[in-house]
Structure 1
Amino acid sequence: MAELLLLLLLLTVTISYSAADPDTFIFAGCSQFKYDQNSAYGLNVNSALSSLANAASSSTFGKFTSSAASPSSPVYGLFQCRGDISVPDCTSCVRSAISQLSPICLSSAGATIQLDACMIRYGNDSFLGKQDTNLLYKKCSPIPNNGYNADLTAMRDNALGSLVASGGTGGTYRNGAAGYVQAAAQCVGDISAKDCSDCISSAVGQVKAVCGFAVSGDVYLGKCFAKYYSTASSSSSSTYTPSSYNRPNNNGNESGKTVAIIIGLMVGIALLIIFLSFVRRNGNNGKS
């Protein structure tokens, strides 16, 4: 089968960065190819996901190749948790990721899901150990009303710059700080130290480019992420807005949301009128 092309499903939620739950859904991508649940490939997918869930009980990173059901239809898979969480929290996050992925990418031959504290990926293309700096997802906080803030921008650039300078091996979780801006980055543990540094350099450049003067921002590339946020009281409560990256006909989506809200309000009003009519009718019957 040809290399899978993941179609990002930007099923996002608006969250506060500092208060995000480890199991909070960020994004998922599903291949356009489907498999039969009872096929050898389907059995290998189930085996790979089971292996990932089991390995997460003792480690924060793991990779597997599942081919027991059919060596000619292997499934490659990996999981990784953010480097600042414990193994028990990693276990919980990975299991939550698998349960959330199942209905989103049902029978997809390849899929990726990113939660706040962990990610899992599987597919039939041998992506293990390969560099990937393609932008998968971004989210940026609203830009402050006063626009450009030279001090914040300088602190952000210094905090993100320290992530690039810190070096480290593939999978290493990196922290940076400057003033009241915190930053973090991490590579997927299957790539080399050089590829990791290159990926984080790319991620840092992209988060600055796509988020501009925003007080907080995240970018997820194929094999790493980089993020920053302000701890100042004036901006720590800022919330992210859903990304428009790779979302077709964004204006149409917003219109659809507006229509859905209006319909919901109309239905609510109609139900309230019916309820009040019922109460009034019963009241009149009681008087008679």
Structure 2
Amino acid sequence: MKSCFAFSVSLSFLLLILLSVYPQRSESAPLYLWHYCPNATLFAINSTYQSNLNALLSSLSSSAAAAAATNNAGGFANATAGQNPPDKAYGLFLCRGDVSATTCSDCVTTGKKDILQRCPNQRVSAIWYEECLLRYSNQSIFSVVEEVPALLLRNITGNITDPAKLVQVFGNTIKDVAWRASGKTFAIATADVTTLERLYTMAQCTPDLTPWDCNTCLRSVIPLLPEGHVGGMMCTPSCIVRFALHLFYNASVVPGPLPPPVTSAELAPVPPPHEGIWEM
């Protein structure tokens, strides 16, 4: 799913709603964000790949439903269907680390149907909701860092009391949450900007990545975040990072002890995959 472009969407009203009411809508229908179908390779109706893809999506949906039935909020599964390329199908889902197992299952179930409608006859597709990511391909996507395609969402409305202080706090906190997520695949971090403003951040990678690869993905998208705004989010196939000046995740999620460093030395910044960002 490598391609050198990223989408940038300025949706001030939508993002304002999304960021402010999320805690009250965690058990409702998943909020669609974006889908990606490169339209590079198509499969024929009633083909072997279609049969394998249907089996794959059913397997992923069943895995999420089984987790919900046992209240196991793992939030991730991968699977394959078929034996031989190019008709073998590979797929995975990733749910936000702060959503319930039931919300995760509902999101995957919705994505299973939605992705086939939005990306008909596609061998490679992905769909993002606020609560989960679902993707599949006719080539293995497991344990592979994919930083593009990338979606940038930003909230362009709202007042900032001390813009310079926000930039400073943002830089430190976003690096901290990326470091935490590298060892735990999901992390949140907060920091006070002023006595009246607090910065909330979240980062997550697919658990099949190594800590190094997770850190690489997060560090490559962080430079694209709109640090001067009151909120923003980057979504890629392998990692997600988000920030806001108000609580947007489940407040009951409390970070555990800090994970060990990815390396003993500070990792060098990774150049962001920003060739030709499309403004929409």
Structure with a larger share of its residues in helix? 1
For the residue of structure 1 that corresponds to 2:243, the secondary structure is strand
Q: Which whole-Å CA distance do the structure 2 matches of 1:142 and 1:24 have between them?
A: 20
Letter in 1 for 2:53: V
1:72 to 1:135, Cα distance in 2 relative to 1, 3 A: closer
Partner of 2:189: 176
Unaligned runs of 5+ in 1: 233-243, 251-288
Contact 2:91 2:136 in 1 (8 A): yes
Alignment of 1:1-288 (within 5 A): 14-15=14-15, 16=17, 17-20=19-22, 21-22=25-26, 23-32=30-39, 33-57=41-65, 58=67, 59-67=74-82, 73-142=87-156, 144=158, 149-166=163-180, 168-169=182-183, 172-179=185-192, 180-207=198-225, 211-231=226-246, 245-246=277-278
For the residue of structure 1 that corresponds to 2:133, the secondary structure is strand
Structure whose alpha-carbon radius of gyration is higher = 1
1:10 to 1:215, Cα distance in 2 relative to 1, 3 A: closer
TM-score under structure 1 normalisation? Answer: 0.71
Partner of 1:258: none
Q: Which whole-Å CA distance do the structure 1 matches of 2:63 and 2:10 have between them?
A: 28
1:26 to 1:216, Cα distance in 2 relative to 1, 3 A: same
Using the TM superposition, give the Cα deviation of residue 126 of structure 1 relative to its aligned residue in structure 2, in angstroms: 1.5
Aligned residues: 230
For the residue of structure 2 that corresponds to 1:43, the secondary structure is helix
Q: Which whole-Å CA distance do the structure 2 matches of 1:195 and 1:5 have between them?
A: 18
Contact 2:52 2:89 in 1 (8 A): yes
Unaligned runs of 5+ in 2: 68-73, 193-197, 248-275
Larger RCO (alpha carbons 8 Å, 6+ apart)? 2
Using the TM superposition, give the Cα deviation of residue 161 of structure 1 relative to its aligned residue in structure 2, in angstroms: 2.0
Contact 2:6 2:277 in 1 (8 A): no
1:120 to 1:200, Cα distance in 2 relative to 1, 3 A: same
For the residue of structure 2 that corresponds to 1:46, the secondary structure is helix
Contact 2:119 2:125 in 1 (8 A): yes
Identity among equivalent positions (%) equals: 22
Partner of 2:262: none
For the residue of structure 1 that corresponds to 2:233, the secondary structure is strand
Deviates further, 56-65 or 6-15: 6-15
Contact 2:60 2:78 in 1 (8 A): yes
RMSD in angstroms over aligned alpha carbons? 2.9
Per-residue CA distance 1:28-69 (angstroms, 9 max, x = gap): 00131221220001100101100110011214111111106x
For the residue of structure 1 that corresponds to 2:37, the secondary structure is strand
1:35 to 1:9, Cα distance in 2 relative to 1, 3 A: farther
1:148 to 1:213, Cα distance in 2 relative to 1, 3 A: farther
